[in-house]
Copies of this chain bind each other. A is one copy, B any other.
Amino acid sequence: MRNIKLTIEYEGKDYNGWQKQPNHLNIQGEIERAIESVTREEVELIGSGRTDAGVHAFGQVANFKIESDFPIEKMATAINSQLKKSIRILKAEEVPIEFHSRYHCHQKTYAYIIDNSEQGTAIYRNTTYHVSQPLNVEKMQEAAKYLVGEHDFSSFKSSGTSSKSSVRTIYQAQVLKEQARVIIMLTGNGFLYNMVRIIAGTLVEIGLGNREPKEMKEILEAKDRQKAGKTLAAQGLFLMNVNYEEKKV
């Protein structure tokens, strides 16, 4: 038995999210089907976690087990030949049999990309969220600092989540400006349901001057979803990478 780890890029627009489900186009199901047509074996693809409908990934990670001796160096190209171009396997590697892409994940990095041009971008309209009023990036960066560390993120969690604890650790929280784009980058040991999109919504309110940066601390402490900003659209959210190294402290 071999264990194969995949690194995957996808544009989420046309999919109903990562998770396999009947009668809805989903990324996990599409990749399983492509692997099965290459290896002629039934496989179960385990993702590092779900991404919601419309969310993109530059570096999702998943693994699956096979008996097939299909050469590893040809596997990414072979699976890609069976996939739509909105999903690309960037890398396929053989890993120890005990590797589990969800259980062994130490860190994830998400980016939320805001197009802050006045009239919006035509070319990147499906992969950015448009805010036409100018954002104060320094204030957003100041507010983002309060997120770093171990906190109960209940204020930044949509209802309907199944996680027992709302405590997560954020290692890095940055707000960057690149031409007309404002990019929110968060690295943590895990993220609650809609957590990045609610944090982004709160940071945008701060960037617009509707709230002060220090309110981020108060919102965290309130542990109340009603105190935070709105959940921004899925199209701005990217799973950037999943890290299996020891935790960075």
Contacts and interface: CB of A to CB of B under 8 A. Distances in A.
A56 B123 contact: yes
A49 interface: no
Nearest to A180: B90
Interface stretch (A18-26, A114-122, A159-167, A168-176): A114-122
A125 interface: yes
Q: Which of A80, A86, A123 neighbours the largest number of chain B CB atoms within 10 Å of its CB?
A: A123
A228 B58 CA distance: 36
Nearest to A8: B122
Nearest to A9: B122
A11 interface: yes
A89 interface: yes
Contacts of A127: 123
A71 to B, nearest CB: 15
A10 interface: yes
B119 A90 contact: yes
Given A10-B122, A11-B125, 16 more contacts: A9-B121, A9-B122, A9-B123, A11-B123, A76-B118, A80-B120, A85-B120, A85-B122, A85-B125, A86-B122, A87-B122, A88-B122, A89-B119, A90-B117, A90-B118, A91-B119
A127 B125 CA distance: 12
Contact of A58 (B58, B120, B123): B123
A37 interface: no
A68 interface: no
Interface string A74-90: 00110010000111111
Q: Rank and list the top 7 A-B pairs by shortest CB-CB distance, nearest first.
A: A88-B122, A9-B122, A11-B123, A85-B125, A10-B122, A88-B119, A11-B122
